[in-house]
Amino acid sequence: MVEAAGGRLLAVDTSGDPGGRPVFLLHGTPGSRVGPAPRGKVLSLMRVRLVSFDRPGYGDSARLPGRRVAAAAEDVAAIADELGLGRFAVVGRSGGGPHALACAALLPERVTRAAVLVSPAPRDAEGLDWYAGMTASNVREYRRAELGQPRIDRPFQLRSRLIRRDPARLIRDLVPELPPTDRTVVADAGVRRMLLSTYRQAFRYGADGWIDDVMAFLAGWGFAVESIGVPVRLWHGADDQFSPVSHSRWLADRIPGAELYLEPGAAHFGAFKELAEAIRWAAAGATAPAG
């Protein structure tokens, strides 16, 4: 447990090589610190020390009501200070993408590289039809949230209780809307174990983190992606319907020097297979702590 601003406690895990190059992994929405990631042995072979944490309101981390996406940078800095990490890389998948970009924008002297997979763009992204190509369930949830947080509090808390009792429920609910390539990914026994683990932890005490993530995505993020000055690598499955590929195209057009990789035939959960390579790329810009 690490103390952040205001005395809040954040639940943190590290894995891989304790003396390796530090990389923060920002989990998806909903998710937790025990979400999908390469195994410790793989990380050790990559000479990477992976740091993950429950975002406020998820799992064992205290809630930060009304938080913005930008708040992730302050939390990551607090964890890095506690662990004695000066400079580090960040990787964000899905809902973790905007939070990784916040670190890149607001901690320019500490973040070396940022790898972002299947990330949404800001809701107020100029020139972007934010809902175009998005799956119907996501559109319904975000449209309801745009009417105000009270409209999603009760249904999200109810869903979280059902998922906590049966974590596989969320996967079953998603499958009908998944393209064939994503159905193949989530049918893998190893992937399902990781998803069940992260959902069980995410909703341990309710849906606060999930609710706050959704509201943060719809509000102003608290920074401009155009201000990012560190190397950024964006990856997106071309068939993604949860975070449409147009979102990464928009980000790539506005983040200076950003590299965009689009994978034909892949979709949202294809990011799991790309995660190890994203961490490897991000770590190449980090430096292992002395001693």
Q: Give the separation between CA 268 and CA 138, rounded to whole angstroms.
A: 13
Helix (H, G, I), strand (E, B) or coil at 215: helix
How far the first Cα of the chain sits from its last, in Å, is: 24
For the segment 87-115, what is each residue's pLDDT rounded down to a tens digit? Answer: 999 999 999 999 999 999 999 999 999 99
pLDDT for position 277: 96
pTM of the model: 0.95
pLDDT for position 97: 98
Q: Is residue 290 assigned to a domain?
A: no
Lowest mean pLDDT among 62-71, 78-87, 113-122, 175-184: 175-184
Place of tokens 């369930």: 137
pLDDT for position 23: 98
Nearby residues of 243 by Cβ (< 8 Å), 6 or more positions away: 94, 97, 118, 119, 120, 134, 236, 268
Q: Is residue 54 assigned to a domain?
A: yes
Q: Each residue of 246-259: b (16+ CB within 10 Å) or e?
A: bbbbbbbebbeebe
Helix (H, G, I), strand (E, B) or coil at 201: helix
Query: In sequence order, what E strands does the chain have?
Result: 2-3, 9-10, 12-16, 21-26, 48-53, 88-93, 111-117, 232-237, 259-263
Q: Is residue 288 assigned to a domain?
A: no
Over 70: is that where the pLDDT of 209 sits?
yes
Q: Is residue 211 assigned to a domain?
A: yes
Over 90: is that where the pLDDT of 177 sits?
no
The number of domains in the chain is 1
Cβ atoms within 10 Å of 162's Cβ, excluding its own: 13
pLDDT for position 290: 58
pLDDT for position 170: 79
What does residue 168 show for φ and ψ, rounded to 5 degrees? -65, -15
Query: Are residues 89 and 113 in contact, defined by beta-carbon separation less than 8 angstroms?
Result: yes
For the segment 252-271, what is each residue's pLDDT rounded down to a tens digit? Answer: 999 999 999 999 999 999 99
Average pLDDT of the residues in 213-237: 97
Average pLDDT of the residues in 175-187: 87
pLDDT for position 158: 93
Tell me which residue range forms the domain holding 269. 2-283
Task: Report the CATH number at residue 211.
Answer: 3.40.50.1820
Lowest mean pLDDT among 4-18, 150-164, 182-196: 182-196
Query: Are residues 117 and 94 in contact, defined by beta-carbon separation less than 8 angstroms?
Result: yes
Q: Is residue 289 assigned to a domain?
A: no
